[in-house]
A and B are shown apart, each in its own frame.
Chain A
Amino acid sequence: MPEGLQVFNDSGFIQIDANYLNLELKQRGSFNLAGSNTANGGSTSSGLSVTVNGESPVIAIQSTTFCCAYPLSQNGNSFTFYIYNGDNQACSGEYFVFDNSSADQASDSGFQVFNPQGRLVFDAGKKYLRVLDYWQVDDNPGESISRDYPGKSVAVVMCDFGYRYVVAPSPADPTNPNYAFLQSWLNCSKTQGSKLLIGDRATYTNAFAQKDPGMVTTSEYPSRWLVVDVTNY
């Protein structure tokens, strides 16, 4: 960069220059969800859909019970996410949708950085994705495990489902190879101000399902979470 502005952090890393690129907050909203009842095959699954227009949006949530948000569908530039309540208690929360940053100005005042082509690349008035942590949960978190980010209001993007399941012969028909008894659990997140909790919540319990030849008896996958700072957002 022969001329212009460069901003470094305490580690000497260039945080802002003419090549700055980030996701910015495009939409936010609140939600209230009834509790789910996962017994007997997930008899009551509580959640809601959120549809946004964009290029490559991600959704972050804050929730008072263990929830997760994931994409349901895409139709052109229309993306639909689903926020699922993994607890049997009612919950409330907020969602934040981030997407590719535009060249539009947040306002006519404030701190702005442009690239050599005159395109706005940073605007202090915009609400960018502020990452606090990238957390991979390898082991079963059980009731919950947590991390705290003092002074921050945290929300979380689920980057990978974490789940495990166990398949056993059906108790009702144990000799029938075509049916199985299934229990499965899903990692969900819950926020308490600056604290993020990850917990394991049942999804299908005592479910009877048609067995597939490719099915294995036990499987476990880690979850991955992008923890973001939405303080004052």
Chain B
Amino acid sequence: MAYGLQCFDAQGRIILDITDSISKVIGVVQTQANVAGSLQVPDFAGGTRVFVSRRATPPSGPFPAQGKRCEVTVNGRTISWTAGRGPVVFTYGVY
């Protein structure tokens, strides 16, 4: 690290290094059943990547295609989701 900010714990281990990417949560989305949507990620800066965190919904038994699942995808600055069988909550941010 040529410059920046580093923090160490009591054992002298680096616990924060600003030259690393620090993840930052931007917001939370709750989708509606059977409704697709999308959003532009605010506070977006060039070179910063977008992530989506959600708890995966298990397939419903051995024949999961009986219910459509909500597919959340990231393309550039846009997060999109397809119409799923039930509502989905996901957190999005940058890293």
Contacts and interface: CB of A to CB of B under 8 A. Distances in A.
B5 A7 contact: yes
B6 to A, nearest CB: 9
Contact of A226 (B9, B53, B57, B94): B53
A212 B15 contact: no
Contact of B20 (A130, A209, A212): A130
A20 B64 contact: no
B48 interface: yes
A184 B59 CA distance: 11
Nearest to A57: B55
Contacts of A168: none
A134 B56 contact: no
Is the contact region of chain A dominated by helix, strand, or loop, or is it mixed? strand
A165 B13 CA distance: 46
Interface residues of A, number: 57
A154 interface: no
Nearest to A182: B62
A204 B59 CA distance: 13
A89 to B, nearest CB: 23
A10 B46 CA distance: 11
A230 interface: no
B24 A160 contact: no
Interface of B: 5, 7, 9, 13-16, 18-26, 28, 43, 45-59, 62-66, 69, 71-74, 89-91, 93-95
